[in-house]
Structure 1
């Protein structure tokens, strides 16, 4: 059995027959593990063979399975990569299905665009801070439909009106409460009832929520703490081989030579696979594969991109950004307003390429056979991965089976299928399953990077310092044009301009355009947010510049432009209040603020920093106010704010991928620095509760933190930061 499910159960092992095993687990492959405790189930998709052997399972829609033992399974449409969707999406289902959170078992959804489409993005995909936004209604509806059918099944058994019955904690009660039937007892009858036809099942009024909005404990914490959680890299199969790879250090390069004989002389090495743009050494274990790769003495032909440098890329951006781009927004007469302004401010901002550097390095296990291909991987985009593998192998989509796993850090990197495609290319040459693992160096130096952007801004202020003209030209690569071509229309990338084309402020004359500039020799892709991670930095830094030019307090200046936008004004005011805005600080200390609307949520952050005479920046405290509409689990939101803030802060302080001679100069955590524990500030989160539709939260704090920090640096030093990461040399005291 190649699918392992971890279940928190009482300590001890239980021997079960195959028949009892199947009858007891419905559509889940589950069993007791030694040392486990009671709780939720985490699974890979159940095989079709097992599904066909199960009888009496209640499956009213693509999300719910309830078997005769009463086990409730959520076929979860989004992948868990640390953001908490196992918990939040289970809460949505549990609320309407009327079961407790710990009664739900989780099973990863197989690739199925029709059933599990992310409506915000348009495909089956985990990204864009869209999990709760996309499934807020569908999962609640799924639960409500399931509950109504189970109640109807009980009413039929008792020969009473379903309206007189009610469900609670997985049990249906009659009007008197004296009769009750569990969901397991009702599953077989409910499975035979007709689906509600043309009748929209009523959802709970938010005032009646029992679970949604409460601080529920993460359902996946226990197995992650004690090591039972399975990630793609943990895949173990009979006869499996392990491979590691060396990929051309220059994009487009080809293999020149490889010493296969030396590699094969290493004990445990079984074969060397040459797939032109990469070499893989296949061995009995990772140690042998690594030694074999070192012995292979690989030489490369760099190809046409062998001379590309960062200077070339920046020069290209500088030149092409001088030309008008596709118009993203045009209101009023910017040219006239600029000409009549009492004061004009111009600025150029830049942000670098950024890698993902997820803790779980790229890996994928493949067993390619004549008529099928099985893949064990953690992917944010299962349908895209399936389709690309089908195209590569010539097999039909339904012959490509993806066993999706927990992901040890996604951040957009695993929206791409390149790691899986490389593994399948290698598997074509290997008899039996092969697990391909990238080294940390290969991971960082062959990532698909957050684009480098160069932005040109101009603003005109009236005599009172109020902005009457605003222009913003965004220049950079378009991820959307490559990844979602239908969404790239009329030269506009909707992601690249997000939070730039629609800043939250009242600007009577505004012109925003976008120039697509594709860098040579560099692949760009989704990061933990793309457009907003640079646009919020640019817009909020420039707003701060205008406040300084107008000789006004940055918070008061922003408030003067947010009267039309009460939700943005509310988060700004709350963040400033909680941070003690205006209270005195010691010399060398400063506070900075930023505001954003992105991913359907409003947020504001205040950063407090200390800048030492040698230019070293210590971020002391981050205060974040969030309005993400109606929220599901405030505990998870706070964790996301903390994690997202530190992810963005890492990039602000350290993050930069640079190129020389076509090669990425960074290779590991010694020169692509993560934040150290002594750098981590206090992060405080304050939520605004309202009845608005849910917004996204995973990427929001990543986008907003950089401007808050750099504005605080200006407050402390009088020196403006217009490019990232922060250059501490430029902040050194002249005294």
Structure 2
């Protein structure tokens, strides 16, 4: 996920600052105007810093962004290495500790990794910080040698003075550099001198992932630890009434049975024993007020709520009047289901509650919130909680939530040893915090020439922002995430009205899911644009082009995707191409999906072609991988993804009932990049949002059946 704010909330950075240590130069994130003399702060790393250069030459980048498979540690290290004039192999990234003041994302304004914001936040800040660091080190060398700094050059972390033949490594200069006045600014390298940015680079985390050296949260081994398997009340709002544990305690390796208000855990010497013990428990639940809740009630609740007047997000012109007088009128209802994050690494957390504090080992997108949850559950001050962050085996917004850290801590508080809590896949899916259900009503009118004269879009669904980041709500009560990419589309529409009806369904907690607002709204907007093109009897690409006269970057990717996909070339019967376009997360993307629909309704994906303008590319290999991975994630959800409830219980439990797109079902994916010098856009969620309308429009082109409700396949049929 993940994302609290839109690209419009991305503000340029203006402040920078420094801290240094004896024998090591440490540079922090904010740079106040005017020079400062750095102060000795001890040989240990100071937490208000991004860069550390040790006396032995080791260069450490303290990363506020969490690595969860998106490649940000490599991309950020490339930015740093470029401006430091060092090799990528000379930079070692490390996790930043929880510290909102020092490590808050300049885009999200909190210490969180999400919303496709990492490179957008790092782009200026990390390069500027590195450039200033480089200038100080060169100044140290020039002072040591008594030469003009302008006559010095740097290569791979070594300062050279050609005229005298002298050279010095960054490590040997760190102590002296730490005593010098620090400039408020330093020039960035011109693009034509870049050695790393824009070139394909191997990811820094690949080797250890291949050889098994990467330690994810689920891999943590703390001396003396035990393992807990957990059963939570199957209905949200329910409680544990009683548990019979005699049989469980007889199982070899079972150590203890622990209770929570709404759950129970069995502790074992290993997970196998804990899980067997859990299966042997006889549990009686008080299922609470949602025990009779059905999926039909949830859907009906949204439908009824949608009749209300929504909070207005956009009102340009008189859209209802324009539609009323249009030559052609079109109305549609689009619905999107609850979705689970279902990361490959299920929820886990290791906690040791000690007399003098709490230690937590976990993968989290929000280390500060994880610290808060542990402190609250343990009943200690936040400062007494130490967070050991680990690589994440897929986040997708799930680990923007930290309630599981509180649950693990509440269990660990009951025992004297370190306790690792692991959720089974079934527990992970059934007790996820789900992508909201959406019920959207859209209407539009066309004139006699097939041009859009008016458009209305009413979104009905819950708000994540109000719970997760209340300051992000607009003064009128609008959650901007619910209307992102609906409020501002790529197209020029003369009369445009967008609103949102808040509806909080019972029985679930909703959360951000990879692609957030755009993953919902791009599906609706691009699906409806496709419907309008058909109603106007125009080709979907030709229909879009006149609407993009003021959006050249979108027009370019649309034309590029169509060209590379062979748009308009003949296709066999039952095969169709669907196209979509989006401006989201600061990037511009168009995707063409080629799909085959059999007579029985089975859908086979044949080919995906994407054209992307994400501004300045950092690592083209990573860019393509992000789009490919995002598309696969989105195609999976578009075809199969759905969480439903019956009697208050989530019906899906594992990958047999919550289907993934399999390798043999995944089509060839081409990603074509537009060369651009614009500031970088986001990528983590861009491809995911694009997948939904691309495949839905392809299904229509192949079969004539319009997809307005997801998932596309139910029991492997189009319906």
- Scaled by the length of structure 1, the TM-score of the pair is 0.91
What are the within-5 Å matches in structure 2 for residues 315-394 of structure 1? 315-394=300-379
Deviation of 1:205 (Å): 2.1
What are the within-5 Å matches in structure 2 for residues 514-593 of structure 1? 514-593=500-579
Deviation of 1:671 (Å): 0.5
What's the counterpart of residue 652 of structure 1?
638
Deviation of 1:24 (Å): 12
Choose which of 135, 151, 158 in structure 1 pairs with 2:138. 151
What's the counterpart of residue 178 of structure 1?
165
What's the counterpart of residue 72 of structure 1?
59
Give the whole-Å Cα distance in 2 for the aligned partners of 1:678 and 1:177: 63
Choose which of 80, 86, 89 in structure 2 pairs with 1:99. 86
Deviation of 1:60 (Å): 11
What's the counterpart of residue 494 of structure 2?
508
Deviation of 1:631 (Å): 1.4
Give the whole-Å Cα distance in 2 for the aligned partners of 1:276 and 1:350: 35
Give the whole-Å Cα distance in 2 for the aligned partners of 1:671 and 1:60: 45
Higher relative contact order (CA 8 A, sep 6+): 2
The 8 Å contact of residues 57 and 67 in structure 1, kept in 2 or not, is answered as no
Specify the SS of the correspondent of 1:495.
helix
Give the whole-Å Cα distance in 1 for the aligned partners of 2:644 and 2:707: 19
Q: Which runs of 5+ in 2 are unaligned?
A: 1-21, 27-39
Specify the SS of the correspondent of 1:73.
strand
- Scaled by the length of structure 2, the TM-score of the pair is 0.93
Could you list the runs of 4 or more consecutive aligned residues of structure 1 that deviate by over 3 angstroms after TM superposition? 23-27, 53-61, 727-733
Choose which of 574, 584, 587 in structure 2 pairs with 1:598. 584
The 8 Å contact of residues 26 and 54 in structure 1, kept in 2 or not, is answered as no
What's the counterpart of residue 125 of structure 2?
138
Choose which of 242, 246, 249 in structure 1 pairs with 2:227. 242
Deviation of 1:82 (Å): 0.4
Give the whole-Å Cα distance in 2 for the aligned partners of 1:676 and 1:72: 41
Give the whole-Å Cα distance in 1 for the aligned partners of 2:716 and 2:259: 47
Moved more, 586-595 or 233-242: 233-242
Q: What do residues 154-188 of structure 1 show as CA deviations (whole Å, max 9, x unaligned)?
A: 11111222222222100011242611000111111
Give the whole-Å Cα distance in 1 for the aligned partners of 2:168 and 2:203: 29
Give the whole-Å Cα distance in 1 for the aligned partners of 2:175 and 2:390: 30
Q: What do residues 457-483 of structure 1 show as CA deviations (whole Å, max 9, x unaligned)?
A: 000110111110000000111011100
Choose which of 148, 155, 160 in structure 2 pairs with 1:161. 148
The 8 Å contact of residues 594 and 608 in structure 2, kept in 1 or not, is answered as yes
Instruction: Determine whether 1:85 maps to 2:72.
Output: yes
The 8 Å contact of residues 320 and 456 in structure 2, kept in 1 or not, is answered as no
What's the counterpart of residue 220 of structure 1?
205
Deviation of 1:54 (Å): 10
What's the counterpart of residue 128 of structure 1?
115
What's the counterpart of residue 49 of structure 1?
none
What's the counterpart of residue 44 of structure 1?
none
Moved more, 582-591 or 706-715: 706-715
Choose which of 675, 678, 683 in structure 1 pairs with 2:664. 678
Specify the SS of the correspondent of 1:212.
coil
The 8 Å contact of residues 230 and 422 in structure 2, kept in 1 or not, is answered as yes
What's the counterpart of residue 97 of structure 2?
110
Give the whole-Å Cα distance in 1 for the aligned partners of 2:246 and 2:135: 67
Q: Which runs of 5+ in 1 are unaligned?
A: 1-22, 28-52
What are the within-5 Å matches in structure 2 for residues 622-641 of structure 1? 622-641=608-627
| Residues 1:645 and 1:351: Cα distance change in structure 2 (over 3 Å) | same
What's the counterpart of residue 473 of structure 2?
488
Choose which of 675, 678, 683 in structure 2 pairs with 1:697. 683
What's the counterpart of residue 265 of structure 2?
280
What's the counterpart of residue 437 of structure 2?
452
The 8 Å contact of residues 607 and 668 in structure 2, kept in 1 or not, is answered as yes
Deviation of 1:591 (Å): 0.3
Give the whole-Å Cα distance in 2 for the aligned partners of 1:705 and 1:261: 50
The 8 Å contact of residues 24 and 175 in structure 2, kept in 1 or not, is answered as no
Q: What do residues 357-391 of structure 1 show as CA deviations (whole Å, max 9, x unaligned)?
A: 11111000001123311100000001122123223
Instruction: Determine whether 1:264 maps to 2:249.
Output: yes
Deviation of 1:728 (Å): 5.8
Specify the SS of the correspondent of 2:420.
strand
Deviation of 1:730 (Å): 10
Deviation of 1:722 (Å): 0.4
What's the counterpart of residue 34 of structure 2?
none
Q: What is the total number of aligned residue pairs between the two structures? A: 684
What's the counterpart of residue 275 of structure 2?
290
Q: What do residues 470-509 of structure 1 show as CA deviations (whole Å, max 9, x unaligned)?
A: 0000011101110001111222111111111111101000
What's the counterpart of residue 202 of structure 1?
187
The 8 Å contact of residues 306 and 460 in structure 2, kept in 1 or not, is answered as yes
The 8 Å contact of residues 355 and 448 in structure 1, kept in 2 or not, is answered as yes
Q: CA RMSD in A?
A: 1.9
The 8 Å contact of residues 530 and 697 in structure 2, kept in 1 or not, is answered as yes
Specify the SS of the correspondent of 1:560.
helix
The 8 Å contact of residues 25 and 71 in structure 1, kept in 2 or not, is answered as no
Q: What do residues 88-108 of structure 1 show as CA deviations (whole Å, max 9, x unaligned)?
A: 000010011111000011111
The 8 Å contact of residues 111 and 367 in structure 2, kept in 1 or not, is answered as yes
Give the whole-Å Cα distance in 2 for the aligned partners of 1:399 and 1:449: 32
